[in-house]
Amino acid sequence: MFNRILVVCSGNICRSPLAKILFEKHLPSKQVDSAGLYVASNQLTNRCAHPSAIKVANTVQLDLSNHRAKQISPDLVEASDLILVMSHQHAEQIHLSVKGARSKTLLIGQWLGIGEIEDPICGDAVKFAECFATLEKCVLSWKKRIEVN
């Protein structure tokens, strides 16, 4: 059973925070966290969510104002039942850096046949809205599987 879900992207300021609040909305009984693979190396630790991510979340009354970026760690991986990533590269990076993570690391878009969720970081408001809509479809596809278990 998946009770603790970790959502991972690159910098933990766009995609994974959005996915986290969507999981919290659709699966409120689950513990959901988010992290990034390159937070420390890009000096993003404790950074707020991207302003465009905050805006797109606000359009559906979801709040990212308290989000602070954090680096993925072995402790976060170990504490999670399911780790959902935005790309094949993210999955491979986690597999290489944390022993035992392979069996619980999957693509967030796998049930929709989506291998990569494009990072909207350099995009406009439309790119963020598209990313948000895609992430919501992904979360709903996981909801169907998680609620069954």
Catalytic center residues: 9, 15, 119
In degrees rounded to 5, what are phi and psi of residue 80?
-95, 145
| Residue 145 Cα to chain centre, angstroms | 17
Closest CA to 8 of 88, 64, 121, 111: 88
| Residue 129, token pair as written in the block | 């809205």
Residues 6 or more apart whose Cβ sits within 8 Å of residue 32: 4, 5, 6, 7, 20, 23, 24
- Cα separation of 107 and 110, whole Å? 5
Strands (E), the chain: 4-9, 31-36, 82-85, 105-107
